[in-house]
Structure 1
Amino acid sequence: MWLTGVLICLVGSFFISLGLVLQKYSHLKEQGSGRGTPIYKNPWWVLGFSVYLSGQALNFVALAFAPQAMLSALGASSLVFLGILGWSALDERMQAFEIGALAFLVIGLTMVICAVPDATGGVHHNGSVHGIAGSLSEVDFLLTAVCFAAVVCLVRLSIELFSSPGFTTPRGIFWALATGVLSGYTFTLCKCLSMLLLTAHHTWVHWQLYVLALIMAGMCVVQVHTLNLALAMGSAKAVVPLTFSLGVLIQILNAQVAFEELSKMTRFVCFWIGVLSVLLSMAYIVQIQLSSDEEEEVSLEDSGAAEEQKYEASAVHRRSQTYFLAEGPTQMGRERHPRRHSSYFGLRNTGTCRGRVYPMGTGGLIIMT
C-alpha cells in the first residue's frame, strides 16, 4: 500500500510542477501580447491552475496510503520536476551546480523511500474514526504541540524585549519559525483527514471529521498569512529554507508521536542521511535561484540606468545647441540644469520587475508569478 501512496505522491508533485509551469507560460504570453487581459481569463492560466489543483488533490489522496515520514520529504520532488519542465518548456537556464543539487536531491529522496517501508508496523488504528482522530488527542501529541507553541511564544517575547523596533529581520525569522510549525501540524491534520475520508467507514456521520476539516482550513489560512509576513520582513534566502526544513522535521516528529511510524524502523542512518540530503539540496537550490534572480534584476537596472543616462546626455546636448544659438556660449556656461528623476525606474524598484511582485514594506503581502 505504501508504494501506491508513493506513486500517487510523485504524480501529484509532477502535476503541481506542470501547473506552475503552465501558469508561468500564460504570464509570458500575456506580457508579449500587450493586451492587458486579466490573467485568470487566459486559457493557459486556467489550465495550469486546474492541473495544479489536481496535483494537490492527488497528494491529499497519497497521505492515506503512505507513511507521513516518507511523504514529508517526498514533496521536494516537485523541485526536480520544476527544473526539468522549466528547462524544456520555458527555456530556463540551469547551472551545473543546480543540476548537481537536483541529482543529490533525488539520491536523498531514494534513501528516504528505501528506509521508511520497514517501519510499516506503526499504529494505523484499523481504520477506526475514533482511533484516527484519537491519535491527535493523546498526551504525547498534545504535550509536543504545547512545547512548540511555548518555544514560538518565547522567541516572540525575546524579539520584543531585545530587538530594535526598526530591525525587521528577527521578526521575519520569527514568522518563518511560526510558519514551519504550522506547516508541520497542518500536514498531520491533513493526513488524518485523508485517512478518515478514504480508509474509515461511515465517516460522514462523525463530528470529528468536520472539526478536523475546520481546524485544518483555519491553520492553512493562518499559515499563508505568516509566510507572507516572513517574506515581507526577512530575506527569502533565509525564510524559504528555514520554513521548509522546520516543517519537514516537525512532520517527521509527528509521524512518530501521532502514528508511531518510526517505532520499528531499523534503517535510521539511511533515513536521516536521506532527509539531510533533501534539506541541504533544497536550501542550495533556493540560494542559486534567488541569486540568479538578483543578478538579472541588477543587470536590468544597470541597463535601464545606462539608457536613462544616454537619454539625458542627448537632451543636454540638444539644450546646449539651443542655448548656444540663442544666447551664445556665455549664457550656456552660466545655465545649470538639475538631473531629471525618472519615475519609471522609481516605480519599478518599489514593486515590480520581470513579471514578479515583490514584498511591499507596508502591506506585508507578496504575490510571486
Structure 2
Amino acid sequence: MDVGKTPHNNYNSHSFAIGLCLAICSSFFIGTSFIIKKIGLRRLTNLGYARAGAGGFRYLREWIWWLGLIIMGIGEAFNFIAYAFAPASLVTPLGALSVLISSILASKFLNEKLNFLGKLGCFLCVIGSTIIVIHSPKQEEIETLAELQIKLQEPLFIAYLILIVFTFFGVVFYLGPKYGNSNIVVYLLLCSAVGSLTVVFCKGLGVSLRETFSGATNDFNNWVLWFLLIATVFCIMMQMNYLNKSLDIFNTSIVTPVYYVMFTTLVIIASAILFKEWQNMGYNDILGNICGFVVVIIGILLLNAFKDMDISFKDSSFNFKPKLPNNIENRTEFVYGTYNNRNA
C-alpha cells in the first residue's frame, strides 16, 4: 500500500458528499412535516371529529395533513436517494436534525415552549451530528444486488427479521389496544422496528437502482428488486399509520425524540447485522461514532425532558449575583454586612 493511503481512499468522496447533503435536506423536510401534520390533526380535533389515536381516518380528507405528508414524502425521497450514496449508519443518525427543526417550529407554531435547556439540547444535536459525520463509515460494504441477496439469507438477519415480525403482531393485536393510548413506547416501538427494515430495504433498492441506471446490469428482471419494493411500500404504510396514532395521542416534542432514539438504534443494529458497515472502521472511528450518538441522545433528552419547566439562562449558576433575602429588614442588614453575622 502506498504511503498516506487508507482503506477510506477506495470510497468516492463525491458520492459521500452527495449522500450527506441529501440526508441534511431530508431532515429539514421531515422535521417540518411533523409540525404541519400535527396542525392538521389538531384542527380535526377542534372540529369534533374522531381522533386518529381512536381509530379515526378523517385526516385523510384534511388538506393540511396531506401537505405535511407530501413534504414528508419529499424528505423521505431525499433520504432514500441518500442511502444509495452514503452508508446507512451515517444517513440515519443525521435524522437528529429533524428533531431540532421540529422542536424549533413547534415552539413557534404549536406553542410548545423551548426553554434554555431545550436550546442547549438543540446545540448538542448539531455537535453530535457533526461528530457522527466525521467518524462515520466512508466506504460501502455492498455494491451489487447479488451481494445483498446473499446477505439477506444469513441466519442472523433472518433471526432479526423474525423478531420484528413477532414485535409487529404483538403490538397490533395485544400491546397496542391495551397500552397504546397510555404508553408512548408501544406504537413507536412498532414504527421503529418496521422502520429499521424500511431502511434496509431502501438501501437495497438504492444500490439496485444505482447499479441498473449505471448500465452495469438490469436488476428489473430480478425478483429481489420487486420484493424489496413491495416490502418497502408495506413498511412505510405501517410506519405512517402508527406514527399518526402517536402524534395524535402524545405531544410532538415527546414523540419526535423518542422515535428518533428508538428508530436510530434499531437501524444501526440492522445495518450492522446486514451491511456490516463498521467492519473496516478503526477503533477511534467506532468510538467517535458512538460518542456522537450519545451526545445527540443527551441533546434530545435536554430538549424534551425539561420542556415544561420555566428555565432561563438567568436561573443557571452562571448568574454570579448574590440572592438577596426577601424580607426588607434582612435585605438592609445584608447590604451593610450584618445579615450573615447574625445568622452565623
TM over 0.5: yes
Q: Deviations over 1:113-147 (max 9, x none)?
A: 111135x2x5223xx33223433222221123334
Partner of 2:292: 274
The one-letter amino acid paired with 1:69 is S
Partner of 2:221: 205
Query: How far does residue 80 in structure 1 lie from its aligned partner after superposition?
Result: 2.5
Query: How far does residue 233 in structure 1 lie from its aligned partner after superposition?
Result: 8.0
Match among 136, 147, 151 for residue 131 of structure 1: 147
The one-letter amino acid paired with 2:238 is V
Query: How far does residue 199 in structure 1 lie from its aligned partner after superposition?
Result: 3.3
| Structure 2 CA distance for partners of 1:173 and 1:233, relative to 1, 3 Å | farther
Helix, strand or coil at the partner of 1:142: helix
2:253, 2:68 → 1: CA distance?
Answer: 27
* Overall identity of the aligned pairs, in %: 21
Larger of the two Rg values belongs to structure? 1
Partner of 1:115: 135
1:173, 1:20 → 2: CA distance?
Answer: 18
| Structure 2 CA distance for partners of 1:183 and 1:19, relative to 1, 3 Å | closer
Partner of 2:204: 192
Helix, strand or coil at the partner of 1:263: coil
Any gaps of 5 or more consecutive residues in structure 1? 30-37, 293-369
Q: Deviations over 1:227-249 (max 9, x none)?
A: 45667888988765544322211
Q: Deviations over 1:15-37 (max 9, x none)?
A: 334555677889999xxxxxxxx
Contact 2:112 2:253 survives alignment (8 Å) = no
Query: Which stretch shifts more, 249-258 or 235-244?
Result: 235-244
Matched, 1:79 2:76: no
2:90, 2:302 → 1: CA distance?
Answer: 21
Q: Deviations over 1:265-305 (max 9, x none)?
A: 2222211111122223224424455x48xxxxxxxxxxxxx
1:19, 1:170 → 2: CA distance?
Answer: 24
| Structure 2 CA distance for partners of 1:101 and 1:8, relative to 1, 3 Å | same
The one-letter amino acid paired with 2:130 is T
Helix, strand or coil at the partner of 2:124: helix
Helix, strand or coil at the partner of 1:117: coil
Matched, 1:220 2:220: no
Contact 2:122 2:299 survives alignment (8 Å) = yes
Q: Deviations over 1:66-95 (max 9, x none)?
A: 110111110121222334556688997532
Matched, 1:285 2:285: no
Matched, 1:16 2:34: no
Contact 2:200 2:270 survives alignment (8 Å) = yes
Helix, strand or coil at the partner of 1:265: coil
Contact 2:180 2:187 survives alignment (8 Å) = no
| Structure 2 CA distance for partners of 1:23 and 1:211, relative to 1, 3 Å | closer
Match among 180, 188, 200 for residue 176 of structure 1: 188
Q: Deviations over 1:149-184 (max 9, x none)?
A: 56x38987xx97xx9x97767876444333321121
Query: How far does residue 6 in structure 1 lie from its aligned partner after superposition?
Result: 0.6
Query: How far does residue 253 in structure 1 lie from its aligned partner after superposition?
Result: 1.4
Query: How far does residue 255 in structure 1 lie from its aligned partner after superposition?
Result: 1.6
Match among 58, 61, 73 for residue 78 of structure 2: 58
The one-letter amino acid paired with 1:15 is F
Q: Which structure's relative contact order is higher, taking Cα pairs within 8 Å and 6+ residues apart?
A: 2
Helix, strand or coil at the partner of 2:117: helix
The one-letter amino acid paired with 1:252 is I
Q: Where do 1:267-346 residues align within 5 Å?
A: 267-288=285-306, 291=308
Aligned residues, how many? 274
Q: CA RMSD in A?
A: 4.3
Partner of 2:126: 106
Partner of 1:346: none
Q: Deviations over 1:304-341 (max 9, x none)?
A: xxxxxxxxxxxxxxxxxxxxxxxxxxxxxxxxxxxxxx
The one-letter amino acid paired with 1:3 is A
Contact 1:141 1:258 survives alignment (8 Å) = yes
